[in-house]
Amino acid sequence: MEKIDELTNKALPIIAYGNPVLRQKSQNIYDRDILVDKLIEDLWNTLEISGGVGLAAPQIDSQLKAFVVKSTLMYDELDTKSRKEIFCGDNGIEKVFINAKILAYSEEMDNISEGCLSIPAINQDVKRPWDIVVEYLDKDFILHRQEFSGYTARVIQHEYDHTNGVLFIDHLPALNKKLVSNKLKQVKQGKIPTDYPIQYLKKS
């Protein structure tokens, strides 16, 4: 209980759908300093308390190009059969991605349900490439070029989209977008309760 209370105090509210910050492109980080270290700490603390598998800087009101991925959370919750179906070559990851750039996408696609902490109560199937190649800096500013597959690749793509002002609902077919339009209005209006801190757009 003390750990949860401590994390809650350190966690930042998730920026909700409707806030313009989620539609802005993030800026590259050129130097590692105390502000960057604090951003990474805030991302991890906020992700932990919200129970998500990934979180990008714009979701905590920062325009720096960084996100964290914790796909181990999903891996640990799945049975053996499901793990084999959606994970490939890893047991989930817990990584920091700074200035990430996706260099290549596979032709093979995967279509499973996604949600977003910034858009609570909406889940839709999203088609994404199964394999990607990513170039990124880790938390120590060491450059990597690495291939990811399956569910882990999906989470990376989702968070990478956030740093480019793109949301998962942008990938939906027109009919699906129409089906969730009323729920999106409710999110904008701050009418969707969450079990994690969230910051809805203030009404003018």
Q: Is 159 marked active-site?
A: yes
Active-site residue identified among 6, 108, 135, 159: 159
Residue 117 main-chain phi, psi, to 5 deg:
-60, -25
169: left (phi over 0), alpha (psi -120 to 50) or beta: alpha
Residues that are catalytic? 159
